[in-house]
Structure 1
Amino acid sequence: MGGETIAALDGVSFGIDRGEYVAIVGRSGSGKSTLMNVLGCLDQPTRGCYRLGGQDVQTLSDDALSQLRNRHIGFVFQNFQLLSRASALTNVALPLLYRGVSRREREARAREALERVRLGERVGHRPNELSGGQRQRVAIARALVGEPSLLLADEPCGNLDSATGDSIMELFAALNRAGNTIVLVTHEPDIASKCPRVIQISDGRIVSDGAPPDQSQEQRA
């Protein structure tokens, strides 16, 4: 910025094991969105190293990065990012289309993913025929359909009322118990506290990393 170098992320270093469920929490401008983009292979750091599944992603071409995102990362967005004129089934099956999967297999796997998020009876509904919570479940099913090694959720409860947000968090917990690795980015401490591990970020730096306060107290007791 002018003659000044501003580090969106400054000395951030941590690891996430397969099967973990982690929240990254911070205020607006803390650097959590930049960190989310790095984890999702949408941005690359100017210095340092990011390894996904042991592979240094900085060594990959743009095409290889696209393939990596499609096959290994599932994204869940605050605004759902669904095709408004397409059915839930079509929305969920879309990532498989880019892999060249046959139509029959795409639809079968999309139905299975919708069943996992308890929307099997809504396969033919369009987004405007679904509630906010149901739209987010469709978005989660779309993220899961490719069986990614990492599920990234960016403010997944931001546009939902508290009761619906709680149901989405319960769904994430169930998915994690089933073996999915989940990283959730949020500015809401209450949402982050529902995760077993919380990384708090401020001014581009990690200020804490561990169990949320209530869980830490339970473990000491």
Structure 2
Amino acid sequence: MSLLPDSEPVATAPSRWERLRERALSSRVGLPLLVAALMMLLLWWWRPLLLIPGTQNLVMQGGDPYLRALMRTISASESNVLRPYHVLHGSSFVWSLDSHPNRCESISRGPNRGNCSTAAGRYQLLNSTWTALSLRYHPDRVPGETEDSSLSFQPVYQDMVVYAWLADPREWRTDFSSQLRQGKVQTVLRRLSSTWTSLGYGIESNSMSRELPGIYKRVLREELVLAGEPLED
């Protein structure tokens, strides 16, 4: 039996091969983790656009944040796609928005199955509805004209016409802005459900209909921040 103290092992520097192997292993594990973390961050940041693209910001600038939030809520149900201003009924798309597309697309389900619809754009307006509204609210309309199918259907005009329509208390015999400021979101959605049947009280509710009051509250906060108004509790 040796009486000498146990000798401590001598630390040796890792070989070049070992260093390369450790570096490769760490990069093999670390890089995917970094990519996954970045993807999660981007998903969190862009979640409204990716998950509910219909709530994307309006092209039109300015206006009452409560009505703007209402418009974004309507399109979450009516045109929940990445290009809502270009979508037709049935989810096909058009490139040109020089005027209302006026294409009658087949209705494949619901109470109107077998018919066709000219609904188009972010707010899924029929050609006849757009014609009537644009003659009253389009900024390029000619006063006194009773027919004009050439008025632009570009995104900013879709927003402007629908905004002016919703803001007109004579049209609805109620003030939507005031009701929304009082928190009566469901009252407003119910009133509008005869025009946009997917809002939860019409004949064609969809998977988004039940989510609309919550969606409205979220986008309203965004609109209030943009407008510099106090946030609701």
TM superposition score normalised by structure 1 = 0.30
Structure ID, larger Rg = 2
Please identify which structure carries the higher strand content. 1
Please identify which structure carries the higher helix content. 2
